[in-house]
Amino acid sequence: MPDPMRTFEVVVKATADEAAAAVAARLKRIVGDAVAERGICSAALAGGTTPRGLYGILARTGTSGEIPWQNVEVFLSDERDVPQDHPDSNFGMIQRTLLDHVPIDLARVHPMPADADDLAPSAATYEQTVRDVVPAGPEGLPRFDLILLGMGGDGHVASLYPGTEALGETDKLVTACPVPVLGRRRMTFTYPLINAARNVILLVTGDDKAPAVATLLGDDDHAKAKLPAACVAPTDGAYYMVLDAPAARDTDLKPQ
């Protein structure tokens, strides 16, 4: 398990929309602080269905100046093995819901090349891009200002699925591996890269996630060890977990 993180905060909101709004507020602050301190913000965004509401909120304020998008380097934390214009593409979803609506420098947008015939060299190329663009932290690893994650009902984050080889990867920062339960290949950040971040936000909504959330926040270490999300713990960063009430149903946490 990773070392203890600097800060860990769990927030519960009544609805998925309120959870997305809470993440949007935190994201704005993280980006603003990073640009003010270092002139640039490196952010890795999540795919899937959960963050779409968040991206809609950010898109609606895209030209307001609240977020200095021209100073944001955008990466993806994982991707499906499809072309970018495919309906299942994480990047395609992020582009349609967010990037097309904000004044971002396209040279700072870095989609994962996950539709290659051989994903291993593509993952290595993407890792090199991360190393070239994202400044290293004290441990020598690229240190993202923000990594946004969602979680599936099986406890997977990014494309770190239960029982897959990627869970044990300690050398590669970006890897590609088959996900048997999906019958597909995925490209994904690995734990060393995720846990080197200054800030990790985990957004979890929906009552189908409630059992996994209860395990993740519970005291049964044996059960928790089966959840990939349990190994997310920034070694010297902040971890902000945002749940809606349905996702927190099986915990003692109440909406704030």
What is the pLDDT confidence band of residue 60, given thresholds at 50, 70 and 90? very high
Per-residue model confidence as pLDDT tens digits over 106-161: 999 999 999 888 999 999 999 999 999 999 999 999 999 999 999 999 999 999 99
210 Cα distance to chain centroid: 19
39 sits in the region (left: phi over 0; alpha: psi -120 to 50; else beta) called: left
Report the predicted TM-score, pTM, of the whole model to 2 decimal places.
0.95
Kindly tell me if the per-residue pLDDT of 5 is higher than 70.
Answer: no
Q: Which amino acid is at 76?
A: L
Tell how strand 184-189 and strand 78-80 pair up.
Answer: antiparallel
> 84: how many CB neighbours lie within 10 A of its CB?
15
Angle at 150 between CA 144 and CA 153, to 5 degrees: 150
Asked if residue 147 lies in contact with residue 189, where contact means CB atoms within 8 angstroms, the answer is yes
Walk me through the domains of the chain, giving residue ranges and CATH numbers.
7-244 (3.40.50.1360)
